[in-house]
Amino acid sequence: MVAASVTALSMSGQEATTLREKFKDHFFIGTAFGRHLHWEQGQPTLKLIDRHFNTISPTNELKWQPFQPKPDVYNHGPADAFVDFGKKNTMYVVGHVLFWHSQTPEWVFQDDDGNPLSREALLQRMRERVHFVAERYGSRINAWDVVNESIMGNGELRDSQWTRIIGDDFIEQAFRIADEELPKAVELIYNDYSMTGKRKRDGVVKLTVELKRKGLRIDGVGMQGHWSVNGPSIRDIEASIVAFSEAGVDVHITELDIDVLPRHPKMWSGNADTKLNLQQDPRLNPYRNGLPDAIQKKLAARYASIFGLLIKHSDKIKRVTFWGPTDKHSWLNGWPIKGRTNYPLLFDREGQTKPAFHAVMQLPTNSNSQKKDNSK
């Protein structure tokens, strides 16, 4: 075992036993979850979420495809339940996501005859979506990922139906619409993966600075944090946190999970397609029957160094959100190969704390700013 006991001291001098207490002076700490948690007998995972976290993101419920699968069909029930849960428990609720190339239905880009929409018509359709969620949720959703994954690894704009129809100012138009339609209290975020590479980092800084120069509002940059035990380096993560902060926005770590399984080269190179379904290969699923102690320790050490860095820069960081509450609920069991057994989070399949949890809880936290109050 890496760390058997919890000895973390909070500012008040009392031992913190939950993540929420531990980081209350530093940043919001949260998780994403899906609608199925409401159906669990006795709702143990929702209880765990309320105990440890003070911010939540929906894994799929607000994405365009599940939320509005057809022009006149709004499947908003699961999203309503998500927002209600967050508000009932006084949480910082994140809307994920307004505009993305993935999980967006084809009809969005087409007219009634199946022909590509004009730029004006697509902008109008984007506005209708934002208008709908603004009316329905207002500032009960505290922050929205306005655009997801639209800058490529080389720092250039991603080619997508959005850019093909709207043009190179797609991101700018998205932020303009979000600012005009949502209440001013709602924070606007640009969110992306692999944010630690230099060219992508520079591309996102450029985007942020340009949006601001044009008088548009962008409040945060989200670094997804789908990282692994082996990388990216702490130094590269740090360089991006500092660079985004210097561009004048809050940093959000939005989709944190640490992959312990061997990575397939197709996973994060190129476009990280969420529809990937690669061939089964037992060599890529080595821990079906449990995680060896050595890997458990490696994961704990990796989490400790990441959270050490996040604590160091907590004056720049608004929020840290895991992409899933427990290993059982992680999307990495199913992507990019179905049916693997992954261990990327702080709670195990039974909802019990892992050595990585204790490693995080034992970190000293009294070295940085006391200016925030993220208690519930």
Catalytic annotation, residues = 149, 255
Candidates 31, 54, 104, 148; binder of ligand XIL (CB under 6 A) is: 148
Q: Return the SS3 of 143.
A: strand
**Interactions with ligand XIL, residue window 161-220 (CB under 6 A):** none
Among residues 28, 23, 49, which one has the least CA distance to residue 324?
49
Measure the CA–CA gap between 193 and 261, rounded to whole angstroms.
18
Measured from each CB, the residue nearest to ligand XIL is 331
Nearest to ligand XIL of 255, 327 (CB atom): 255
Shortest reach from residue 299's CB to ligand XIL, in Å: 20
Q: Give residue 30's region: left, alpha or beta (phi > 0; psi -120 to 50).
A: beta
Shortest reach from residue 160's CB to ligand XIL, in Å: 14
What's the one-letter identity of residue 351?
A: G
Measure the CA–CA gap between 84 and 136, rounded to whole angstroms.
12
Tokens 């003070």 correspond to 54
Name residues whose C-beta falls within 8 Å of residue 162's C-beta, 6 or more positions apart in sequence.
99, 101, 122, 150, 170
Shortest reach from residue 5's CB to ligand XIL, in Å: 33
Nearest to ligand XIL of 102, 368 (CB atom): 102
Contact 56, 83 (CB under 8 A): no
Nearest to ligand XIL of 118, 277 (CB atom): 277
Measure the CA–CA gap between 57 and 144, rounded to whole angstroms.
10
Measure the CA–CA gap between 252 and 95, rounded to whole angstroms.
13
Nearest to ligand XIL of 34, 308 (CB atom): 34
Nearest to ligand XIL of 77, 292 (CB atom): 77
Beta bridge partners of 31: 56, 322
Candidates 59, 160, 342, 365; binder of ligand XIL (CB under 6 A) is: 59
**Interactions with ligand XIL, residue window 93-122 (CB under 6 A):** none
Per DSSP bridges, beta strands 317-322 and 28-33 are: parallel
Measured CA to CA in angstroms, residue 135 lies from 55, 96, 138 at distances of 22, 16, 6
Candidates 7, 118, 233, 274; binder of ligand XIL (CB under 6 A) is: 274
Candidates 331, 343, 347, 357; binder of ligand XIL (CB under 6 A) is: 331
Nearest to ligand XIL of 148, 326 (CB atom): 148
Shortest reach from residue 41's CB to ligand XIL, in Å: 22
Calculate helix-pair angle for 119-137, 170-181, nearest 10 degrees: 30
227 binds ligand XIL, rule: CB under 6 A: no
Measured CA to CA in angstroms, residue 159 lies from 40, 109, 269, 271 at distances of 40, 14, 16, 10
60 binds ligand XIL, rule: CB under 6 A: yes
What's the one-letter identity of residue 196?
A: T
Nearest to ligand XIL of 54, 59 (CB atom): 59
Shortest reach from residue 193's CB to ligand XIL, in Å: 6
Shortest reach from residue 364's CB to ligand XIL, in Å: 32
Shortest reach from residue 334's CB to ligand XIL, in Å: 7
Footprint of ligand XIL (CB under 6 A) = 59-60, 148, 224, 255, 274, 331
